[in-house]
Amino acid sequence: KNKSKNFQVLFLILFALFGQYSNNAMPGGTTSTNFINTNYPLFQDVHLMTLVGMGFIMVFLRRYGLAALSINLLLTSHAIQWALIVRGFFSHEFANNGRFAISILDLITADFVAITVLITMGAVLGKLTPVQYMVMSAIEVPIAVAVEHVIDIGRSMVIHCFGAYFGLAVAKVINKKEMIAHQHEGSSYNSNIFALIGTLFLWAFFPSFNSALAIPEDSRHRAILNTYLALCSSTICTFLISQLLDHEHKYRFSMIHISNSVLAGGIAIGTVANIILEPFYALLIGCLGALVSVLGNHYIRPIGVRVFGLHDTRGVGSIHGLPGILAGILGFIFTAVYEPTRYGTGNVTHIYPAMNSNDEGREIFVQAGYQLAALAIVLVVSIIGGAVTGLILRLNCFNRIHEKEFYSDGEFIEPPEDYDFTTRIISKIDHIELTEHTALNKESSTSVVGPSNP
């Protein structure tokens, strides 16, 4: 029960021994205002996505709202500190001086790693204790940092794809039959509203997310424009496809689709956000992202549960995983399609550092092959890493949630007085009302008059 305290003690020791602020943050540092006027607003946007966007989008479970938001904050604080330390140990400063530096850009990349962990959390939401979540984060962060060096400006492969399939592997290994179709696993009217608020925050700040590390300025400008257009088209396509998939053929919208798949365009274009040079392609990619996300949620996710016993609480495989794979494939395609000369003399090296004007630089098709290989590496590493993490989390040394308390705050959150009424009792009342309403509709449609079933 004191493991969370032990993590923080370890962080304090490591920061005391090896951490320092970058020269730009110290007295006598640079007078450039870019570090505050440019980088800090981008950090704010990414940080809001991490805390508010990812936090509220997790509260769709009617009995797991307080825990989802609280553990989101806990894991964010844990993953950011651990990511700063791990990335610091891999840095040139540490290799040269024995200490690592921390700047605003380091905070942005640490937030990226935290979002990776939060995506993984979505796959096992409501199934683990806080300590298990933190152990999962402690294992995942170094692996995520190790694979983040592929060419992926919006981090669609190394954040969305990696986090999703790492989480799916964990979910598969820790799966119990009691986790599937549990009585607490479900949403309510209010929980769906709060989840949609999280979606709106993620949607609004996604252009900053995909462009935060893009250089030079024209590349960052393109990343913002492409992401925004892709989000617009994916939103419209999500609404359209959701209507067509209404099982009662009433052309209604599913909140499962609306609160999640509208973001697929921002994920699908992430890898090529700074590469695309025409708005048409950005809009098309947004439509493709929505298509794979909605269809994945509607068809593939139920098959995963029914056939493979792969229970994905939040559906991260369809929300983040499939659009992330699409992004990796698009990275391969557009690397091969665009001539380097279209980016101007010398600018292509900002996008693909290994492609330069001398004879030793990679050819475009070789670089395209590397992009495809990067996607394969991310998938393999995430699945193996997640499976090993799942095995560790199953060890008897960890306390586990009681089967009756899956997807419920009550196991480790001190609940308010109206907790049972606003979650358990109201959900049962809603079920009764729904059952009675359905029975009345059946009687009206068949014109049968008689006593109703108790």
- Averaged over 272-282, what is the pLDDT? 94
Domain-wise residue ranges, the chain: 3-24+34-411
- pLDDT tens track for 190-199: 888 999 999 9
- pLDDT tens track for 170-191: 999 998 877 676 667 777 888 8
Which residue in 172, 229, 206 sits closest to 48, CA to CA?
206
Task: Please tell me the distance from the alpha carbon of residue 164 to that of residue 121, in angstroms, as a whole number.
Answer: 9
* pLDDT at residue number 429: 53
Q: How many CB atoms lie within 10 A of CB 134?
A: 23
At residue 388, does pLDDT exceed 90? yes
The amino acid occupying position 421 is: F
Kindly give, in sequence order, each residue whose CB lies less than 8 Å from that of residue 390, ignoring residues fewer than 6 positions away.
169, 170, 171, 172, 173, 174
Task: Please tell me the distance from the alpha carbon of residue 321 to that of residue 318, in angstroms, as a whole number.
Answer: 6
- pLDDT tens track for 211-235: 999 988 899 999 999 999 999 999 9
CA dihedral sign of residues 48, 138, 70, 88: negative
Task: Please tell me the distance from the alpha carbon of residue 334 to that of residue 272, in angstroms, as a whole number.
Answer: 7
What architecture does CATH give domain 3-24+34-411? Orthogonal Bundle (1.10)
The amino acid occupying position 285 is: I
In DSSP notation, 432-443 reads HHHHHHHHHHHH
Question: Mean pLDDT over all residues of the chain?
Answer: 87
Strand partners, 102: 21
Task: Please tell me the distance from the alpha carbon of residue 437 to that of residue 366, in angstroms, as a whole number.
Answer: 62
Which residue in 317, 338, 339, 315 sits closest to 326, CA to CA?
317
For residue 41, what is the DSSP state? H
Which residue in 135, 109, 163 sits closest to 314, CA to CA?
163
Kindly give, in sequence order, each residue whose CB lies less than 8 Å from that of residue 81, ignoring residues fewer than 6 positions away.
11, 15, 110
- Averaged over 115-120, what is the pLDDT? 98
Q: Which two tokens stand for residue 227?
A: 């992401």
Q: Which two tokens stand for residue 235?
A: 């939103």
- Averaged over 258-272, what is the pLDDT? 95
At residue 430, does pLDDT exceed 80? no
Cβ-in-10-Å burial (0-12, 13-18, 19+) of 186 comes to: middle
